[in-house]
Structure 1
Amino acid sequence: MPFSDSGGITLHYQHRPVGQGRRHLVFINSLGTDFRIWDAVTAGLDGSIATLTYDKRGHGLSDIGATPYTIEDDVDDLLGLLDRLGIDEIVLCGLSVGGLIALGVAGRRPDLVKGLILCDTAHKIGTVEGWNTRIAAVEKNGIASLADSILKLWFTPRFHAERKPELDGCRNMLSRQPVAGYAATCAALRDADYTEVAKAIGVPTLCLVGDQDGSTPPAVVRSLADLVPGAQFEIIESAGHIPCIEQPEKLVTLIRSFLAHLPPE
């Protein structure tokens, strides 16, 4: 299990280089998940591009660090990890809060970023009242108390009906995240607004969303695509908020197509 210090925060990561390839596809996970949500996608890429997955702070096996923290602290963490690994050319694929982190990295270090894949995310997610209500609930009763309602937003009714073992596993993953890290990331989401950053993005961008996403519905993701100059927008059918688990093959196809049209390394 590889770990790395990034500015005093220990991050758990998985790095899969490919030959002498310089460009890396970096995946950033969503709230309440760890980097295993990308397993089927990285496997589907068949080693065609170097990949990096990692647990952002407060999730998985990574440190929580001092709280409160902001999305910009997450940006610092990822930039530190990239520096430690010697990665200097990236395409970012961020899901939900991971999309905000991706926007933050692109805004801060446009020299590194050659493309953005923004999955089920927005330039600003949720409301102050909504996030404060969620923070209070998990701090009082734990994440498990909200797990069923969250899973209804994450996955389609068909997934709930036909893929119970996977659903149970995702419930375990969500419920076992540290409360302090989950709540701190909720607060970071509450306070984040990347509207102006999105307007200034200067690299090819693909905005994706599940057709049944209950957290960031298609209209919300479309509003992000409308802000980013020249962004593509695609809807993934039969998917909720986490298409990398529910429809990984479709996501891989879209990623491959996007990468194929980027300028060469």
Structure 2
Amino acid sequence: MQSFFTAGDTRLHYRTDGERGNPCLVLSNSLGTDLSMWDAQADALASDFFVVRYDTRGHGQSASGGAPFGIERLGQDVVALLDHLDVAQAAFCGISMGGLTGQWLGIHQPRRLTHLVLANTAARIGAADAWLARAVQVRREGMGGVAGGAAARWFTPAFITAEAATVARMIAALREQDADGYAACCAALAQTDLRAQLAAIALPTLVIAGEHDPVTTVDDARWLQGQVAGAQLASVPASHLSNVEAAPAFTARLRAFLLA
């Protein structure tokens, strides 16, 4: 297991694929998942990139650090990871919560990025009250209730039927997710609203939408594109976890953008 200690001696888990001499690509996971959600992209892109993926704090094998945190801390974790790996600049691709981390980086740490890919995300995801209620729920009852409804939020019915083993594996991992770490990220999402700051992003940016995503919609993606000068927009036939459900199309869009 590869890991390092960031602010407050919080251990973060990461994995690298590909040659260090290649351009670096950082992949950031969604709420309730871990770095394994990027397996298809890492396998396909490791020949062209030094692929770095990590478990967001409070997820997978990364600790949460105990104290409350916000989107700034999630962004600073990426900076700390790049510093740990002695990487001056990287392309960044984040999905959902990872996309919010990417937006924060694009606003506050643009010198560390070469490209920015924002997938299935928005500058403000959901309502604060709903996130805080979910945090209370999982701390009180565990992850069972959240896991029970996750498949319908993450994937289309057709994918759930056709790829039952993949769905079952990801839901099982969600059930095993640390409730306190998940709740801490819910609290961070509750307070994150980057809508007024997006125009500051001046990086080459690609926004990817899932055509059937009920959580962060195609309209959300169009709005993001409109706020970032020169941003490109792509859609893939998928719901919220589009890099899993439409892996070949997602990876092709990502590769084309990064190698253009």
Q: Does 1:29 pair with 2:29? A: yes
Given the superposition, is the C-alpha separation of residues 26 and 34 from structure 1 closer, same or farther in structure 2, using an over 3 Å criterion? Answer: same
- Asked if the contact 1:9/1:77 (under 8 Å) is kept, the reply is no
Instruction: Tell me, in whole angstroms, the C-alpha distance in 1 between the residues paired with 2:58 and 2:46.
Output: 30
SS at the partner of 2:80?
Answer: helix
Q: How many residues align?
A: 259
SS at the partner of 1:10?
Answer: strand
Q: Does 1:260 pair with 2:253? A: no
Moved over 3 A (4+): none
Structure 1 residue 17: deviation in Å?
4.3
Structure 1 residue 246: deviation in Å?
1.0
TM superposition score normalised by structure 1: 0.94
Instruction: Tell me, in whole angstroms, the C-alpha distance in 2 between the residues paired with 1:55 and 1:198.
Output: 25
Give the % identical residues. 33
- 1:171 match: 171
Amino acid corresponding to residue 78 of structure 1 in structure 2: V
Query: Gaps spanning 5+ residues in structure 2: where?
Result: none
Instruction: Tell me, in whole angstroms, the C-alpha distance in 1 between the residues paired with 2:4 and 2:241.
Output: 27
Amino acid corresponding to residue 242 of structure 2 in structure 1: P
Q: Does 1:6 pair with 2:36? A: no
Structure 1 residue 214: deviation in Å?
2.0
Instruction: Tell me, in whole angstroms, the C-alpha distance in 1 between the residues paired with 2:18 and 2:196.
Output: 33
Query: Gaps spanning 5+ residues in structure 1: where?
Result: none
Instruction: Tell me, in whole angstroms, the C-alpha distance in 2 between the residues paired with 1:191 and 1:72.
Output: 11
Instruction: Tell me, in whole angstroms, the C-alpha distance in 2 between the residues paired with 1:214 and 1:138.
Output: 22
SS at the partner of 1:47?
Answer: coil
Structure 1 residue 170: deviation in Å?
0.9
- Asked if the contact 1:9/1:65 (under 8 Å) is kept, the reply is yes
1:221-240 correspondence to structure 2 within 5 Å: 221-237=221-237, 239-240=238-239
Structure 1 residue 19: deviation in Å?
5.1
- 2:125 match: 125
Deviations 1:84-114 (CA, angstroms, capped at 9, x unpaired): 1101111110000101111112222211111
Amino acid corresponding to residue 259 of structure 2 in structure 1: A
TM superposition score normalised by structure 2: 0.96
Given the superposition, is the C-alpha separation of residues 161 and 207 from structure 1 closer, same or farther in structure 2, using an over 3 Å criterion? Answer: same
Instruction: Tell me, in whole angstroms, the C-alpha distance in 2 between the residues paired with 1:150 and 1:224.
Output: 25
RMSD over aligned CA atoms reads: 1.3
